[in-house]
Structure 1
Amino acid sequence: MLTATSPTPGNFADIAARIGRIDWATVESGLDGQGNATVVALLRQSECRELATLYDESGFYRSRVVMGRHGFGRGEYRYYDYPLPKLIDDLRRTAYARLAPIANRWNQRLGVAVRYPDTLAEFTHRCHEAGQRRPTPLILRYGEGDYNCLHQDLYGEQVFPLQLAVLLSEPGRDFTGGEFVMTEQRPRMQSRCEVVPLGQGDAVIFAVNNRPVQGSRGAYQVRLRHGVSRLRSGRRHALGLIFHDAT
């Protein structure tokens, strides 16, 4: 299992150090093989609790979405507004810099001409030029019986192919059920389903839409979706970091 622990919350150098200590070769191998990779203890328990506690504070967010009103499932989430809280901004920027080379390699394998810049600031500028100006980092809250339907987080023509989610609640204590799940659809095959176990503070990095798979005639695309299974009891919070902005 991968670890990324730290003594000091919310500091840019500290977040950069945590990201730097991740075994990125193992992450890349997981993404190539399954479309997801887990990082253990990316956020500290105190950071997870603070983010979850601030869910009901209105000053951090641009909008609130009740899933049942849109057929997304049951539960709700809130999109953060710019400027993002420092911890989230630091994590998003430093993670992007590590993921951009993987994203570029995937596109190269698939024959896709798009290449992603080295920094999130440059990519955000690209999004804004395309009319995608609304921030997409979000915090999700589920109660008993809630779930998130399988979906993809696509918000416009500019799409970064990888994203990151952190479980903020403690399984078995704060909630039961509510597993992070993914499905993969290969051409002319039935869907493959995978449950990704997470502990409090653990992150899962995963494909937003498609990933390359090597076939006998070269690489081809498989399509992925993600969601959350039904919560059996308690309350579950999670942080989602999407790197492209929304229209």
Structure 2
Amino acid sequence: MTSHHPATTALPAAPQTDQRTGQPIERRVNALDWRRIEHDLDQYGCSAVPQLLTPSECDALSALYSRDDLYRSRIVMARHGFGRGEYKYFAYPLPPLIGALRGAFYPHLVPVANRWNRAMAIDVRYPPDHEEFIRRCHDAGQLRPTPLMLQYGEGDYNCLHQDLYGEHVFPLQVAILLSEPGRDFTGGEFVMTEQRPRMQSRAEVVPLAKGDAVVFTVNSRPVQGTRGPYRVNLRHGVSRLRSGHRHTVGIIFHDAQ
């Protein structure tokens, strides 16, 4: 019998509603310029989303980092050769804003994920509803939630990597910057690299402000060549913080073994 966890729980520190407009997160995500986001993902493998969260929502999420009862594990990156800094994986049930973001983004990204898999001759197709995809993960033994909070201090960085946690991997994810560049920290840019066959790696740096998100490729995406589409591999990370402290929340759509 497969266990299935609810996506949210009641935590007043993380509101699901935009305090400026009263719009729920789902409506806010639905109103994004998805044509532009899809175009950017096809062209560059990532797309910035300005002002997704309000400053107060960012502060409320950052404050959750000290709530150890909300997390299933803490990773100190230097111990594993991942870089410097640390992050914590949320436990089920997720804080309401995290669960709302996960559920709101997923259906908009499914068409891109399925189209990419067709182009790369990958047989996997993703269901339109995130709960159904999570059941698929849990049936395969991937039971542990993957949304996480990252914390960096001066000199910290995140090595280039891919977030793969088992057989079932959703090929897109979202990161949201919760701190203000230039005030809370300096340095610490979001970085991606793309390796195309028989070519040197291409780097992409995505400038983000507090509350901005970036949607990006987890591991591979198709690129159109003269003989049809071919697969390129991508990795992401964070450059060295030169001063201050930086918090980020990561929304990963597949669960882990």
Where do residues 200-215 of structure 1 align in structure 2 (5 Å cutoff)? 200-215=210-225
Provide the C-alpha distance between the structure 2 equivalents of 1:7 and 1:87, rounded to a whole number of angstroms: 10
Provide the C-alpha distance between the structure 2 equivalents of 1:162 and 1:7, rounded to a whole number of angstroms: 24
**Alignment of 1:165 onto 2:175:** yes
Secondary structure of the corresponding residue to residue 24 of structure 2: helix
Secondary structure of the corresponding residue to residue 205 of structure 1: strand
Identity of aligned residues (%): 65
Corresponding residue of 1:75: 85
Provide the C-alpha distance between the structure 1 equivalents of 2:19 and 2:109, rounded to a whole number of angstroms: 24
Secondary structure of the corresponding residue to residue 53 of structure 1: helix
**Alignment of 1:14 onto 2:38:** no
Provide the C-alpha distance between the structure 1 equivalents of 2:66 and 2:19, rounded to a whole number of angstroms: 25
Q: How many residues align?
A: 240
**Alignment of 1:91 onto 2:101:** yes
Provide the C-alpha distance between the structure 2 equivalents of 1:78 and 1:132, rounded to a whole number of angstroms: 18
**Alignment of 1:107 onto 2:108:** no
Q: What runs of 5+ residues in structure 2 fail to find an aligned partner?
A: 1-16
Within the candidate set 227, 232, 253, 1:217 is matched to 227
Q: Deviations over 1:30-49 (max 9, x none)?
A: 00000000100111100101
Q: How far off is 1:173 after superposition?
A: 0.3
Corresponding residue of 1:62: 72
**Alignment of 1:130 onto 2:147:** no
Q: Deviations over 1:161-209 (max 9, x none)?
A: 0000000000000000000000000000000011100000000000000
Q: How far off is 1:233 after superposition?
A: 0.2
For residue 80 of structure 2, what is the amino acid of its counterpart? H
Q: Deviations over 1:91-116 (max 9, x none)?
A: 10010011011100111111111100
Corresponding residue of 1:3: none
Provide the C-alpha distance between the structure 1 equivalents of 2:205 and 2:26, rounded to a whole number of angstroms: 29
Q: What runs of 5+ residues in structure 1 fail to find an aligned partner?
A: 1-5
RMSD: 1.1
Runs of 4+ in 1 over 4 A off after TM superposition: none
For residue 126 of structure 1, what is the amino acid of its counterpart? R
Q: How far off is 1:8 after superposition?
A: 3.2
For residue 47 of structure 1, what is the amino acid of its counterpart? E
For residue 249 of structure 2, what is the amino acid of its counterpart? L
